[in-house]
Chains A and B, each alone.
Chain A
Amino acid sequence: MKTKATPAIKLDTLSDVNDLGKPWRYTEDGLTVTRSSVWSPPGCHPVGCGLKLFVDDNGRLVRVEGDENHPVTQGRLCPRCIALKDYVYNPSRIVFPMKRDPEFRGQDDKWERITWDEALDIIEERYKTLTGKYGRETMVIFTGTGREGGTMAPFATMSFATPNFCYTQSGYACYTPRLAACAYITGIPYPELDYAAGLPGRYDDPEYEVPEVVMLWGKEPLPSNPDGFFGHSVIDLMRRGTRIISVDPRVNWLSTRADYHLRLRPGTDTALALAMLDVIIKEEIYDKDFVDYWTYGFEALAERAAEMPVEKAAEITGVPAEDIINAARMYATAKPAGILWGLAIDQKTNGMQNGQAVVALMAITGNIDRPGGQVVGDINSGLNEGGFGFDEGIGPELAQKMIGIKEYPGYCNLILNSQADMTLGAMETDEPYPLRMGMYTGNNLLACTSAEPRRWRDAILRSLEFCIAFDCFMTPSAQATCDLFLPLATVAEREGTLFAEYGAAPLYFGAMNKAIEPGEARSDLELAFTLGKRLNPHLWEEYDTVRDFINHLRLGRQFDFEDLRKEVTLQQDISYFKYESGTLRRDGGLGFNTPSGRIELYSSAYRTFNEDPLPYYEEPHFSPVSTPELFEEYPFVLTTGARTYAFFHSEHRQIPYLRELNPDPFVEINPKVAQRLGIADGQWCEVFNHIGSAKLKAKVTVTVDENTLHAQHGWWFPETNPNDLDENGPYQTFRSNINNLVPNFHVGKIGFGAPFKSMIANIRPLEESYDTDMSVVWDKFGKLV
């Protein structure tokens, strides 16, 4: 691994007066500048964009700029970090611990400021009492996505020593289904598009080849920087000649630049992938050598794919047969070609099969572990933290109590999480045992992650006797369900490390460097350490300081944070064709890290979980085909959650500059449908189905076809009433929460995948308006403190 940062390549638009080559900390015009590779919070995926944080003599952050020394982002920033000051010094930020009597959950004026000592005393007392009575498994940790808190498994394994670490989205419908599919089939955690992130010469590096084609499958990387992938790398590649295939029901900026845009009916991706496999196999345009040497079960896959001829797929997906054929040919004949696969894969019950079929496409075209194809890690890559502290803190006996481990071993054992839907069930029924204590880390489930959010709220309220929030702002979830609030430090106020894309592929990693003092706020790493020392000190004996913990957990003791922070960002060495060199397998043998040593197109792992070893198409549980009668009442396919530049999920609604970009939650509706239903552009509407409803503002646009609605997710309104008073919940979050229409318990056989992007719904215009008054937002949050 490299230990010295290579100089970044200067962008042509950057002036000759610049900060290239500056050290990690320097002074300029009386300001101290700290360079950092940032992750969270505010929420973001681990992209680790380079930042220069300018701090004045009073220790105040006065300026934020993109750091041109970053090998990948090269000074470029998205709106969210540009507005970082407005987050750090937002007048509504909570900067000290608070407590509230559980009797007053949902009432904002009942919070009381306390000291950290008191907060820790309360936690210790509650933990001892409740775990004494119900066992350590009574503690559940609700994790979210993206932020560091979402990945802080040591909260569970070592601080509270509970097996119930739970990402609270039905079917873990985010990232992990894809990752699981890939891991089970290839032994590789994540096949990222190779965008030369680890190569010193980047796109011009002699080792690299620019992909001829990039196929975007259910991913809109520009606004989302998904899973830590710097989205605008796709633009860098297009400038160098890369052509695009887009698989997406919606028109988006990239799809309008694509050679083929396959606008499938939401949720039918696996049918499309199988048909593309069939074309590529029948026309013999796959990589025969790679298939012969390195895959297992090709004939079985070919037979299965043959059951999905193009005409059949065209009928299911709505994509014209000739487009499927032409796109399949284009992808298979391009050398190299990469796939960027996205969240849409996970957000369907059929997600594990979708992932499986897309990995098969990458594999039979010989694009895995090839320059400009899919870049993959070797046996040593991946975050050190998978399972960190699990054996010591939880052990085999308690592990067997993890909720869902018997029903969904392929889920729980892989990600060491309690199964989300079953965790909800446990809170509703006390089966298999009562959950009585909880904590949120990087999660705002009532506004964002969870399906049927009112049901989650009611379950938490009935089940948990004590619940802790750890965040920068009061969230609807904390307001409705928590009894203790702990203040979380922002990325400018903390130190830590960052591995791009969670370290799942060899790209780059870096240091989050502290630029300003955090006051009473603490980072996730600090809180895990502090709680652990209190509650389970025997698990923390080897760490005297948080730095010791960082060096072990994050850096595997291969680096010292002290050294890393001076380098700010280090690229990871990339090597290719590792299956030919024996570095993908623990035993050093050739091939892939699977039982057969090959990519298992016919998956032995899936079979162990009583799942079909081959990919198959399953209709969404609610669709024009599977529920035709219901579809008459709810005659649109509903897809949700397209990303925006303004927000990270449910965050940033209180940052006026960002909110101004997208003041209200919108639902996209085709002009012809809007005309027919009497819906004007900008009119508020109710979107509803048999599960629930939400009020959103119509955006009349051809981005969706006449059969489809798309609704934004993650909404709450921090400028409105904080109390959990009426059916709209705290900060009106349930008024516009599209997850009201999404059910729990519609997951795949392995426990992964849920229909967040493939539901059905109807829409009707409303007379009333809920338009956000931006002057109220500005008055309330615009004056920094």
Chain B
Amino acid sequence: MTAYGLLIDYEYCTGCQSCEITCKEEHDYPVGKWGIRVLDDGPWEIEPKRFNWNKIPVPTDLCDLCTDRTSTGREPMCVHHCLANVITYGKVEDLAKKLPEKGKQVLFVPQFKPYEAKGPFVHDPSKGLRKAAHLEVQENTAAERMAAHRGDARVEEY
């Protein structure tokens, strides 16, 4: 399976939040829900007169990489509207090749609804064969003792 991602040149991400709003419009996400969030680190002082201030857009668990659009060959909406033009969409392997070209880049490979992506729980019969510890009454006595059963082995088989 080919993985797709978003390469972000955060050297120039200005924090305009067009990506956030266009994602909400595209997916009808209500107030309180987002497909991408612009994280804000700063400003804090590195040394007098020099500040660290980076805006880093991070796709959320609701980013579906604009499947409806990208399946028609178009780029995602956040890529289209980004005012600083810092988001590139593509195959992860192609985007990864661009990483060495310059600093302050980050490559995201989002997972839409990761919980749902795992699918419903199904028990795997090959798992869970180790039994829990339990109480046993010793033969010919009234004494109880802790017994630990490992795997299918019975105590007496040890």
- A residues with a Cβ closer than 8 A to B are 11-18, 64-66, 68, 75-79, 82-83, 85, 222-223, 231-232, 235, 238-239, 251, 253, 256, 261, 645-646, 656-658, 660-661, 701-703, 774-775, 777-778, 782
Contacts and interface: CB of A to CB of B under 8 A. Distances in A.
A579 B81 CA distance: 39
Contacts of A777: 31
Contacts of A231: 83
Interface string B42-53: 111100010111
A13 B84 contact: no
Interface stretch (B56-64, B67-75, B127-135, B143-151): B67-75
Interface in B1-34: 12, 14-18, 20-22, 24-25, 30-32
Interface residues of B, number: 38
Given A77-B83, A232-B14, A703-B43, 13 more contacts: A13-B79, A15-B89, A17-B74, A68-B80, A76-B18, A76-B83, A222-B16, A235-B14, A253-B14, A253-B15, A256-B42, A645-B18, A657-B25
Given A18-B74, A251-B51, A778-B31, A658 B14 contact: no
B148 to A, nearest CB: 53
Given A256-B43, A703-B43, A656 B75 contact: no
28 contacts: A12-B88, A13-B79, A13-B87, A13-B88, A17-B73, A65-B77, A68-B80, A76-B18, A76-B81, A78-B16, A78-B18, A82-B22, A82-B81, A223-B16, A232-B14, A251-B43, A253-B14, A253-B55, A256-B43, A261-B49, A645-B17, A657-B31, A658-B21, A660-B32, A702-B43, A702-B51, A703-B43, A778-B32
Contacts of B83: 76-78, 222, 231-232, 235
- Majority SS of interface residues in chain A? loop
- Majority SS of interface residues in chain B? mixed
Contacts of B31: 656-657, 660, 774-775, 777-778, 782
A743 B44 CA distance: 34
Contacts of B73: 15-17
B17 A235 contact: no
B65 interface: no
Interface of B: 12, 14-18, 20-22, 24-25, 30-32, 42-45, 49, 51-53, 55, 72-75, 77, 79-85, 87-89
A13 B75 contact: yes
Contact of A782 (B30, B49, B75): B30
B25 A256 contact: no
A261 B45 CA distance: 14
Contact of B80 (A65, A702, A782): A65
Nearest to A646: B17
B18 A79 contact: yes
Contacts of B42: 256
A77 B16 CA distance: 10
B16 A14 contact: no
Contacts of A15: 73-75, 89
Contacts of B55: 253
A13 B32 CA distance: 29
B72 to A, nearest CB: 7
Nearest to B31: A778
A256 B47 CA distance: 12
Contacts of A14: 75, 79-80
Contact of A774 (B16, B20, B24, B32): B32
B65 to A, nearest CB: 13
Contacts of B75: 13-15
Contacts of B15: 253, 645
Contacts of A660: 31-32
Contact of A256 (B18, B51, B72, B82): B51
Given A17-B74, A76-B85, A702-B45, A83 B32 contact: no
B53 A66 contact: no
Contacts of A83: 21, 25
A682 B52 CA distance: 22
B14 A82 contact: no
Nearest to B75: A15
Interface centre among B18, B83, B89, by most chain A C-beta atoms within 10 angstroms, is: B83
